[in-house]
Amino acid sequence: ATLKQAFLESTDKLFPTYIKLLKESGSGFFAKSGLSWVDFVVANYLLSIRINEPEVLKKYPELEKYVDRVHAVPQIKEYVEKRGQIVL
């Protein structure tokens, strides 16, 4: 398998688990208590996929909404706007 094929196979295994955990938390984030450092790591990972391989994330609209939700947090939104776009 090529590197891309291996990546695609891994997302097909991993992303449904992400969705399950997000639903189980009930908060819209990975922790039941709300936004945590895990969300920053996962949202950044998913954002890099959205930028570099957009068709991959389009199969998982729940995760696209999750990335948007994390980036809609006022402090994060303000930081990203000040920082500008970066290449991931």
- For residue 61, the surrounding DSSP H or E stretch is helix 61-71
Report pLDDT digits (tens) over 65-75: 999 999 999 99
In this structure, the number of other CB atoms found within 10 A of the CB of residue 6 comes to 10
Q: 82 pLDDT exceeds 60? A: yes
Dist CA 55 CA 51 (whole Å): 10
Cα end-to-end distance, the chain, whole Å: 24
Report pLDDT digits (tens) over 19-46: 999 999 999 999 999 999 999 999 999 9
> At CA 88, angle to CA 78 and CA 45, rounded to 5?
80
- Residue-level pLDDT at 83: 84
Mean pLDDT estimate for the chain:
92
Class of domain 3-83: mainly alpha
Mean pLDDT for 77-82 is 88
